[in-house]
């Protein structure tokens, strides 16, 4: 499964953010979608601390 740390942040401002399986989103990572398109993050990605 995908792991999202409690201190990670996602902002889907305009459209959705779809996160694939097996991803790790570490603390203080910020993912923002300002696009009018759906943001798709594939499987098995690592977003490290503070990215």
Summarize the confidence of residues 10-15 as an average pLDDT.
96
Residue 39: the pLDDT is 98
CA distance 39 to 51: 17
CA distance 26 to 39: 19
pTM (2 d.p.): 0.88
Residue 34: the pLDDT is 97
Measuring CA to CA, which residue among 43, 47, 40 is closest to residue 20? 43
pLDDT-based confidence at residue 2 (cuts at 50, 70, 90): very high
The tokens for 22 are 């097996």
A 10 A CB-CB count for 6 gives: 5
């Amino acid at each position: 499964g995908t792991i999202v740390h409690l201190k990670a942040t996602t902002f889907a401002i305009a459209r959705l953010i779809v996160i694939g399986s097996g991803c790790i989103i570490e603390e203080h990572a910020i993912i923002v979608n300002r696009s009018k398109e759906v943001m798709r993050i594939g499987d098995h990605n690592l977003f490290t601390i503070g990215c």
